[in-house]
């Protein structure tokens, strides 16, 4: 049985989701707020003591050390890699959508995405503010943060049934395919944080076969 989250842990999940969600959801060239967030994360990694929920400082220093290779400039190397990974127009290097990996036809809005949509509807949650699939990994990060604040009783079910079955896998794909140090570092940060949450709370994600 999963271990319950505490008040402090709800706060930690809000911080994690609201910090990392926009990084994978928004083009830094199109969103000034996201670019400023990336710069803040780079500065965060330069501190003498690094703290981040669920991960230990020695590993955090290794991860954030990857950001030293970025000069902090908003240039084509940064936003170009975001577009190569997540937007296109060429074949996406690391699609951010869960069902692209879990559907045998490798499609957006596949079965697992529709299951998430139905779960949201059944629980009175409306997150469809655009035409982007609900299982975009950036949206899932933000949804985790929102649930930790507004509907904490649904958090374990969401993590086990919808986020953990795809999240770490997608972040691993981003890490393997990213060319810019920002996306490599933050993808592995997200992956290892989710895995630590799973371990700490004895969560049991459902199995979803991956086709890509």
Give tens-digit pLDDT for 161-187. 999 999 999 999 999 999 999 999 999
Residue 36: inside a domain, yes or no? yes
Asked whether residue 27 is assigned to any structural domain, the reply reads: yes
pLDDT tier at 79, thresholds 50, 70, 90 = very high
- pLDDT level of residue 149 (50, 70, 90 thresholds): very high
pLDDT at 21 > cutoff 80: yes
Domain of 75, in residue numbers: 10-200
Alpha carbon distance 173, 39 (integer Å)? 23
Q: Would the pLDDT of 107 be above 80?
A: yes
Number of domains making up the chain = 1
pTM for this one? Answer: 0.96
- Determine, yes or no, domain membership for 99: yes
**CATH number where 105 lies:** 1.10.3480.10
Residue 2 pLDDT grade (very low, low, confident, very high; cuts 50, 70, 90):
confident
Q: Which residue has the tokens 């959801």?
A: 25
Rounded distance between C-alpha atoms, residue 92 and residue 103, angstroms: 16
Residue 78's pLDDT band, with cuts at 50, 70 and 90, is very high
What confidence category does residue 47 fall into, taking pLDDT thresholds of 50, 70 and 90? confident
Give mean pLDDT, residues 58-64: 95
3, part of any domain: no
């Amino acid at each position: 049985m999963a271990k319950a989250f505490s008040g402090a842990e709800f706060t930690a999940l809000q911080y994690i989701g609201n910090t990392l969600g926009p990084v994978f959801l928004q083009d830094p060239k199109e969103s000034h707020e996201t670019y400023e967030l990336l710069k803040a994360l780079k500065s965060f990694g330069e501190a003498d003591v690094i703290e981040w929920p669920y991960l230990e400082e020695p590993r955090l220093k290794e991860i954030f050390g990857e950001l030293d290779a970025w000069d902090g400039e908003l240039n084509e190397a940064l936003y170009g890699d975001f577009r190569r990974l997540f937007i296109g127009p060429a074949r996406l290097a690391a699609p951010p959508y869960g069902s692209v990996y879990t559907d045998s036809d490798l499609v957006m809005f596949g079965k697992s995405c529709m299951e998430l949509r139905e779960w949201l509807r059944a629980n009175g949650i409306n997150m469809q503010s655009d035409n982007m699939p609900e299982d975009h990994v950036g949206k899932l990060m933000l949804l985790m943060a929102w649930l930790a604040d507004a509907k904490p009783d649904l958090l374990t079910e969401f993590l086990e049934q919808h986020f953990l079955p795809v999240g770490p896998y997608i972040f691993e794909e981003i890490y393997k395919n990213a060319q810019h140090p920002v996306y490599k570092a933050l993808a592995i940060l997200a992956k290892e944080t989710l895995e630590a949450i799973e371990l700490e709370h004895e969560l049991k994600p459902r199995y979803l076969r991956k086709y890509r």
